[in-house]
Chains A and B, each alone.
Chain A
Amino acid sequence: MKEHQESAVDKLWRIFSSMKLGLVLLGVIAFFAGIGTLFPQMDVDPDKAQAVGKLWQTLGFTNLYGTYWFRLLLGLLCINLIICSIQRFQGIYNRTFKLNPPENSSVIPKKVQETWQGDGESLRKSVQDVLRHRGFRVVFAEKDKQWGFTAIKRRWGNWGSFISHVSFVVLVIGAVIGSSLGFKGFLMAGTGTTVPIHSIQVSRGTVKETFDVLINSAEDRMLANGQRDNWYTDLSILQNGKVMARHTISVNHPFTYQGVTFYQSSFINGVHLTADVKGQKIPVTLEDRGGNYFNAPGTDLYLVASAINSDSQKPSMLFEVFKGMSEDAVQSGQLDFGQTIDIQGAYKLTLDGNSGYTGLQVKQDPGVMIIWLGCALLLLGLILSFYWRPILVSGIFQAEKDNRGELTMGVSTGKVVGGVKEVFDRLVGEIRAN
């Protein structure tokens, strides 16, 4: 029974150590990833995604990248990469750090090889001097009247492929950590608003932090030529009412506090007003296009800003007032900067000025540094693979008479010959001339 189980494990190991399987998985992943771009996805366009046929929705095509089977494909690829890497590790290690000089000429690479006669001592010295001068690590071994050598240059290039493949595993680990831990959310708030971090709209994860976010100001800044510069939000982090940090963020310039990062995502114009309800002054901020409303206390009146002119000198707004659940406005009009109007005899409203509503993406992703590590490893691996290719030269001297004999020297070309022969010919020329 145990033998049968081992055989099944061996079989699984053999399957997963196959590069062919890796290529097949890559192809399948690429195919379905492409299909996913043709279907509207739920997290981007939920309305269109829900309009797609039920069968496609059931199969997961409208949430393709989050389906279990797509993640399973990625997981299988990850396993394949891990097993392939383990399988190849020892060979790469030996080729880098445990080079053995050849013991007979049959193991000297034949594709690019040279043979010539000479004196053993002077040839050995010449080989050593030239190869070391050219940056090779040379290892000699002697046996009877013959000696052999192996020389390698740019040996770390052997690790390029291994590092590249391991980098994918690191990337997947980073992605898994990021999606399992931390959170992703969004907040939209006006100037002067304090938002407890745990109250933000969360799309993934749970917020464990307890600090508050105070929006000191939100600005849609324009350049002198009338073009938009950027959106700026001056925010403070409050803990128990005390300011712990303050920073101005803008698009492409986020701010991180205790692992939580705030990204400037959007901006909506708004106005700030003062409502005088029976002598009580209430500050009000309203978003453009009816993004929010003001319900005066003790009334069933709902006031919205249907349009805002955000001119910094003369802001104004168009407003509508609704009573209860009625769809028809009971009052509408324009309110200019500094102007006060009466709302249905219940209260007075004064426009005090502009107020920005800032939209911030809020995210905690413990996996992002692992992602950057994976990216760095991937680049390192590719640089080593393409631009730091090792050159392995080996040779054997067989003495014939006195100390004269024949030196056979060759260079390993791997699957790519180009350029190696030129280097080899130059080395041989220098050794013979030395």
Chain B
Amino acid sequence: MNLGLQNLESSAFYVTVMAYILCMMLYWVWIGIKKDLIGSLATYIAALGLIANTAAIVIRMVISGHPPLSNGYEFLLTFVWGIMAVYLYIEYRYKLKSLGAFVMPIPVLLLMFIIMSMGPEERVAQAIPPALKSQWLTFHVVTAMLAYGAFAISFGLGIMYLLKLKEEGRGWEAKPQGIIARFPDLETLDELSYKVIGFAFPLLTLCIITGAIWANYAWGTYWSWDPKETWSLITWIIYAAYLHARLMYGWKGKRAAWMAVLGFAAVLFTFFGVNYFLPGLHSYAQ
């Protein structure tokens, strides 16, 4: 039965990969030709990918007997789920399909990373060390997944803002049918980016706090300046600076967009840079 479930998990994973690649291409095509059918298809396939992603995660949980949060593969799978879940909600709530063209490459690249750099042995469910057997781990990684997913969305919005700003600076009125000209207006992009970061920031705070609680139960130290802890704090500080600058000094628009981009770079380094380049307690990927 275990082999059957493993094969099912593997199938769900590849369906997820194919669905996300396909919907990414469809979003790109849609943003070029703006055919409603293509746009609807992109959304449906994204939703299908999310269902397959969910199935892969659930089956993984059944096989391993614990939440799939204990190694790089499992976390990337749930990180991708977080990005897609937040993105589809944003698309549904704000009718912002053009964001898909900028957000989809992120989960696709993460899945490609899994395929190209992780061997089968890394993707098989394995025993977790005693330190990872904690309910706090679940809260910690779920909040990280949702926060990181939302920051990926704000990154996409920041990129869209900067592209549109650049076009406007060139006098885009001459090309009113151009791709970028059809993005939502700058104020909408900016405001939505702020809302998404406003959603993600408390979650990131909760992620850091639950991590500290878990560390205290496991090792008796709630904060040890471990590289992962330190870089998550740096990420937190960047977004805190974004919020302060926006609320107190009216930093909107271009500066806010760049901070959203910089913040996500810090998110990526917090995950990849620390896991693969810096040693520490969080080196479960090594």
Contact = CB atoms under 8 A, between A and B. Distances in A.
Given A34-B234, A252-B218, A261-B220, A386 B198 contact: yes
A30 B225 contact: no
Interface string A369-390: 0011001001100110011000
Interface in A215-261: 227-231, 250-254, 261
Contact of B218 (A30, A64, A251, A382): A251
Contacts of A231: 130
Contacts of A51: none
Contacts of A30: 233-234, 237-238
Contacts of B131: 251-252
Interface of A: 19, 22-23, 26-27, 29-30, 33-34, 36-38, 41, 44-45, 64-65, 175, 184, 227-231, 250-254, 261, 263-265, 361, 363, 365, 368, 371-372, 375, 378-379, 382-383, 386-387, 414-416, 418
Interface string B228-248: 001101100110110011111
B227 interface: yes
Nearest to B127: A227
28 contacts: A19-B244, A26-B241, A27-B237, A27-B241, A37-B231, A37-B278, A44-B280, A45-B279, A175-B223, A230-B133, A231-B130, A251-B133, A251-B218, A252-B136, A252-B217, A252-B218, A263-B218, A263-B219, A263-B220, A361-B219, A361-B220, A363-B220, A375-B212, A382-B201, A386-B199, A386-B202, A416-B194, A416-B247
B191 interface: yes
Nearest to B281: A44
Nearest to B273: A37
Given A23-B244, A26-B241, A363-B220, A41 B225 contact: yes
| Best-buried of A36, A65, A252, A375 by chain B (most CB within 10 Å) | A252
B216 interface: yes
Interface residues of B, number: 48
A383 B202 contact: yes
| Best-buried of B134, B230, B238, B247 by chain A (most CB within 10 Å) | B230
B220 A19 contact: no
B46 interface: no
| Best-buried of A26, A37, A382 by chain B (most CB within 10 Å) | A37
The 3 closest A-B pairs by CB, nearest first: A227-B127, A251-B130, A37-B227
A379 B202 contact: yes
A7 B99 CA distance: 54
Interface of B: 127, 129-131, 133-134, 136, 191, 194-195, 198-199, 201-202, 205-206, 209, 212-214, 216-223, 225, 227, 230-231, 233-234, 237-238, 240-241, 244-248, 250, 274, 278-280
A378 B218 contact: no
Contacts of B201: 382, 386
Contact of A65 (B130, B217, B225): B225
Contacts of B221: 363
B205 A23 contact: no
Given A184-B220, A363-B221, 10 more contacts: A228-B129, A231-B130, A252-B131, A252-B133, A361-B219, A368-B216, A378-B205, A378-B209, A386-B201, A414-B247
Nearest to B205: A382
A63 to B, nearest CB: 10
A363 to B, nearest CB: 4
A289 to B, nearest CB: 20
B59 to A, nearest CB: 18
A65 to B, nearest CB: 4
A173 to B, nearest CB: 14
Contact of B202 (A26, A365, A372, A382): A382
Contacts of A27: 237, 241
A23 B133 CA distance: 38
B130 A230 contact: yes
Given A37-B278, A41-B225, A26 B237 contact: yes
A264 B220 CA distance: 9
A415 B231 contact: no
Nearest to B133: A252
Contacts of B244: 19, 22-23
A228 B222 CA distance: 25
B250 to A, nearest CB: 7
A375 B209 CA distance: 7
A252 B202 CA distance: 25
